Structure 1
Amino acid sequence: MKNFKSKIFLASVIGISVFASCKKTSSGGDPVIIGDNSESLNSSFFERVNYKGAFGNTDWTSGWANYNPQNTDYPATNATLSGNITTNTTLDASKVYLLSGFVYVKSGVTLTIPAGTILRGDKSSKGTIIVQQGAKIAAEGTASKPIIFTSNLAKGSRSPGDWGGVILLGKAPNNIPGGVGVIEGGVNVTTEGNHGGTDPADNSGIMKYVRIEFPGIAFQPNNEINGLTFGSVGTGTTIDYVEVSFSGDDSYEWFGGTVNCKHLISVSNVDDSFDFDNGFVGKLQFCVGQRDPQLADQAGQSNGIESDNSESAFTTTPRTRPVISNMTIIGPVSSSAALASVDPKHEHANLWRRGSKMILGNSIFIGFKYGLNIRDKETGDALTDGSSLITNNIYQSYVPNLDIIASGSIPSFASVDLLKSYFTSKGNLNINEATSQTLLNSPFSLTAPNFTLKTGSSAATGAKFN
């Protein structure tokens, strides 16, 4: 969500200085640089695999993910979670909780959610969990007993935006003026929604083996809650094996922060699958997204990756610069014959703009109308000076001459041919529909997809981390 962001930033009276030094993180020991970071794929965070995309021959979603939550039977609620959580609290996995209204986990408090717990979000009160700065969530499920946040509506009547979502707020840096922002989604703008600070290793807890289904309710027009929102969340936080499905807005959105994430699933959301803003500099590996051809953002456009540095000051620091490897995003277009029936608001596999930087490697993006769009001069300058990198990826899109785009009021490249030359020089491939169909087993099934590699897939080898 972009048209509301300029209205939600709180300029602090006290500015936060930009540090030139680095600080060890609590997740792997790699340095995080406050300011414009220089992390690369050559980091101990990344598992060295040979294949491109989020999967090799093993389906890491098996047993805990759910691609058809619309038709899943969930037990009725018999307990309620609401109001402020002011003391350390552990839920009871034998109960099914109605998540009612905005539930604030207050600073200094940990909310523990045991494996197998089910929480059903109330629509009328916009049920949402907000983990405030200084608070923690301990939501650690297992592959056999995932933690499930889902709609409280009956099977067959659920839809995107049935409840709010999960919001984590930390004290890691961002590039919002003054260093402090108020998260979007209608969170109390006086204190409870604040995020940002000077601690890149800040810890908001753990979310592991967690499903978030049918979130993304609109607090007001153009001010929706995402499935899982990160506001300046630090590297002390663990995010691994999380699925967001049927979100009414973005599946995942990062506003600044340094948090690293692995094994993320985005399924059938309305807006962007993965959205980066305000100086986010974390690392991601093994992430998959799948677009539903009939679900798209009618107020804007829906993209696989959408990345911005700042709406108004494209070169403000720290620059948005996620480092991503082994991502697979399946667009809404399963074939050329299906293109005409896809919602027209579906657009790019990747849209980088407003000065965003990025390191993106070893990834697969197929089935999109448009491919890679590098918008605005500041965004493209980062590619030519080497502080951004697009390397070793596979793309496939359908609209002629929009597979690679250099756009903006001042284009990022003087001609699209220069961008295409960069693209091919870094080992990236643009393939056709027939070749794309040889990569993955069953990526376009909306209820039982299989994103693993076909026998003989060209994506089975060639990944690089240098």
Structure 2
Amino acid sequence: MQVASKLAYALLVLFGLTIAFTACKNDDQPAPVLGITSFSPTTAPINGTVTITGTQFNATPASNTVTFGSAVADIISASTTQLVVRVPAGAQNGAISVATGSQKVASSQTFSIGTRAVITKTGSVTANETWTADNVYLIAGFLYVRSGVTLTIQPGTIIKGGTKDLDPTGALKGGTLIIEAGAKIDARGTATNPIVFTSNKPAGQRGYGDWGGVVLIGKAPTNQPGATAFEGGISGTTGTYSDVNDNSGTLQYVRIEFPGIALLAGSEINGLTMYGVGAGTTIDHIQVSYSGDDSYEWFGGTVNLKNIIALRGFDDDWDTDWGYSGKVQYGVALRDPNVADQSASNGFESDNFAGTGLPATGPNAGLPLTSPVFANMSNFVFSGTPSSAVTAGGSGAYQSGMHLRRNTNISIFNSMLAGYPEGLRLDNGATTATGTSANLAAGTLQLRGIVLANDEIPSSTTVVRGANGLTTADAIAFFNTTAYANKVIPSSEVATLLLNSANFNLTAPNFLPQTGSPLLTGAVWDGKGADAFFTKETFRGAFGTVNWTQGWANWDPQNTNYN
């Protein structure tokens, strides 16, 4: 009996302990708390941007308080895991703090103030001025460099284009640098220290058309009547200029990223826009990336260019109009196949007049014809089957590698266009007498040494076609003239070109053809191609055995820290 009592007592104690332990056990996870995981960059100048990652931030920007020492920062955007802030004046080196409601936390990383201040530029530049690499420059609204003034920009300088909301006039115009007729820009970067125009948004949040772009206006001829308005809301009008050697300055080793903005329907600012820019101007080693309209557009003028890049543009890569008659050698365009414009994006788009006939009569009206000469150009869109469907990330579709229309007199030599739904569209325009066909008949529109590769959609084998009174049969007969040495390489034979395996890599391309590629030979330099401006390369396309983009080009500007 006594043993039984002891056993019962032991069981009772064990049961009580079990209840106690069970009551003490807590399987609930701790509630998430405010925390800073990291921030980048760890060094930035006053007015630079810093991205803070962490937990339990408030998705409403105003419900967070971020301090750099005792200085409170402006919050640009907010989510529960990320805050993008602007470094405030009075910021101090040390930890960054974030507060939401009653919670506050400081970073374990240390932040330090960068040495480059952000200088905002607005309105007009009315006296000679130099922008230095120890500052970052922010263009807010339209910035005009007035006639007689030279703007000098040092190698390595970063210039940011402000978004529409930063326009101090309230007109919602994206930051745009405009070099007026009679003014000059002297922007000489180097291969190791290029000058960069880019978006004011932080890395990872940049996009097409964040700002306007760079506009040069010169005093070389256009074929427009005097007092013709510029596109995109730029003030002023064309003059009846005639100085073919006018000098708007120098652009060398310059990148222009996330520009191209539409301010009016059918009236846009491009990545690099050139109005009547003369042959005295020096432009080479330029990269336009993620332009919201054309990457490059020439409105008349005589300027010559070499070594130019168009990366992942939205509309056309090379757009010529208003009587442009300069020369261009070495250009490469790499497109995102998922992004195209509603107007149907082309590699080359070339016009001379834009209506039912030539412009009204009068000084500079109708002449000169648009007659540039391009050589050693490469355009790449689809590595697989081309498509003319509306693209996933854009508002339109791809059309032609070359759409030549409206009395254009353009010539293109030793170039390759790969992956368009059609390679060449020869478009007569509105009138036969003054249309593109007249220039074909005269032998002044010259296409020589052209390779059209993988340029046919599955429903059609018509790589070359005519339009608006110029028949497809005539277009094909012209392109296939034996002496012109043009070639069509169907999709089934593209491998014979021995393109580089990284040719279509959007963030790390390599355009050099493989050893033994037929592109390394076969160039034609007769007719307009014999001009002394052109280096008489043996290869077709933009590259032989030298990668001229190396060192200064940036194939991933979306993720580059420019503070």
For the aligned pair, the TM-score class normalised by the smaller chain equals: 0.7 to 0.9
1:197-216 to 2 correspondences below 5 Å: 197-216=241-260
Aligned-residue sequence identity (percent) comes to: 43
1:107-126 to 2 correspondences below 5 Å: 107-123=147-163, 124=165, 125=167, 126=174
Say which of 418, 428, 450 aligns to 2:486.
428
Aligned twin of 1:403? 463
Q: Equivalents in 1 of 2:234, 2:386: separation in Å?
A: 44
**Alpha-carbon shift at residue 363 of structure 1 (Å):** 0.3
Q: 1:239-269 CA distances to partner (integer Å, 9 max, x unpaired)? A: 1000000000000000010000000100111
Q: Equivalents in 2 of 1:202, 1:435: separation in Å?
A: 46
Q: 1:11-47 CA distances to partner (integer Å, 9 max, x unpaired)? A: xxxxxxxxxxxxxxxxxxxxxxxxxxxxxxxxxxxxx
Q: 1:420-460 CA distances to partner (integer Å, 9 max, x unpaired)? A: 12211121001012433434212211111111111211110
**Alpha-carbon shift at residue 74 of structure 1 (Å):** 8.8
SS in 1 for 2:231: coil
Residues 364 and 337 of structure 1: CA distance in aligned 2, closer, same or farther (over 3 Å): closer
Say which of 442, 451, 454 aligns to 1:385.
442
Q: Equivalents in 2 of 1:314, 1:216: separation in Å?
A: 28
Q: Equivalents in 2 of 1:154, 1:232: separation in Å?
A: 34
1:163 maps to 2:211: yes
1:362 maps to 2:406: no
Letter in 2 for 1:260: N
Q: Equivalents in 1 of 2:216, 2:285: separation in Å?
A: 16
1:440 maps to 2:487: no
Letter in 1 for 2:286: V
Q: Equivalents in 2 of 1:391, 1:115: separation in Å?
A: 38
Kept after mapping to 1: 8 A contact 2:259/2:291: yes
**Alpha-carbon shift at residue 218 of structure 1 (Å):** 2.1
Q: Which deviates the most, 216-225 or 448-457?
A: 216-225
Q: Equivalents in 2 of 1:401, 1:254: separation in Å?
A: 32
Residues 225 and 339 of structure 1: CA distance in aligned 2, closer, same or farther (over 3 Å): closer
Residues 172 and 449 of structure 1: CA distance in aligned 2, closer, same or farther (over 3 Å): same
Aligned twin of 2:53? none
Q: Equivalents in 2 of 1:367, 1:210: separation in Å?
A: 28
Kept after mapping to 2: 8 A contact 1:246/1:269: yes
Aligned twin of 1:394? 451
SS in 1 for 2:480: helix
Residues 439 and 258 of structure 1: CA distance in aligned 2, closer, same or farther (over 3 Å): farther
Q: 1:128-158 CA distances to partner (integer Å, 9 max, x unpaired)? A: 0000000000000000000000001011111
Aligned twin of 2:351? 308
Aligned twin of 1:48? none
**Alpha-carbon shift at residue 355 of structure 1 (Å):** 0.4
Asked which structure has the greater RCO (Cα within 8 Å, sep 6+), the reply is 1
Q: Equivalents in 2 of 1:453, 1:296: separation in Å?
A: 26
Aligned twin of 2:138? 98
Find runs of 4+ consecutive structure 1 residues off by over 4 angstroms.
337-344
Q: Equivalents in 1 of 2:506, 2:159: separation in Å?
A: 24
Q: Equivalents in 2 of 1:443, 1:416: separation in Å?
A: 31
TM-score, length of structure 1 as denominator length: 0.79
Say which of 169, 173, 181 aligns to 2:228.
181
Aligned residue-pair number: 385
Letter in 2 for 1:78: V
Aligned twin of 1:27? none
Kept after mapping to 1: 8 A contact 2:139/2:162: yes
Letter in 2 for 1:187: I
Kept after mapping to 2: 8 A contact 1:128/1:164: yes
SS in 2 for 1:452: coil
Kept after mapping to 2: 8 A contact 1:170/1:196: no
SS in 2 for 1:257: coil
Gaps of 5+ in 2: 1-40, 49-116, 168-173, 360-365, 527-563
Gaps of 5+ in 1: 1-70
Q: Equivalents in 2 of 1:171, 1:253: separation in Å?
A: 16
Aligned twin of 1:453? 513
**Alpha-carbon shift at residue 196 of structure 1 (Å):** 5.0
**Alpha-carbon shift at residue 96 of structure 1 (Å):** 0.8
SS in 2 for 1:440: coil
Aligned twin of 2:7? none
SS in 2 for 1:90: strand
1:325 maps to 2:375: yes
1:271 maps to 2:315: yes
1:134 maps to 2:182: yes
1:375 maps to 2:427: yes
Q: Equivalents in 1 of 2:410, 2:275: separation in Å?
A: 19
Residues 459 and 82 of structure 1: CA distance in aligned 2, closer, same or farther (over 3 Å): same
Kept after mapping to 2: 8 A contact 1:133/1:195: no
Letter in 2 for 1:418: D
**Alpha-carbon shift at residue 401 of structure 1 (Å):** 3.5
Alpha-carbon RMSD:
2.0
Q: Equivalents in 2 of 1:337, 1:121: separation in Å?
A: 34
Q: Which deviates the most, 281-290 or 393-402?
A: 393-402
Q: 1:143-194 CA distances to partner (integer Å, 9 max, x unpaired)? A: 000000000101111101000100000010011024x533211112xx3x54
Kept after mapping to 2: 8 A contact 1:81/1:99: yes
Aligned twin of 1:256? 300
Letter in 2 for 1:324: F
Structure with max Cα Rg: 2
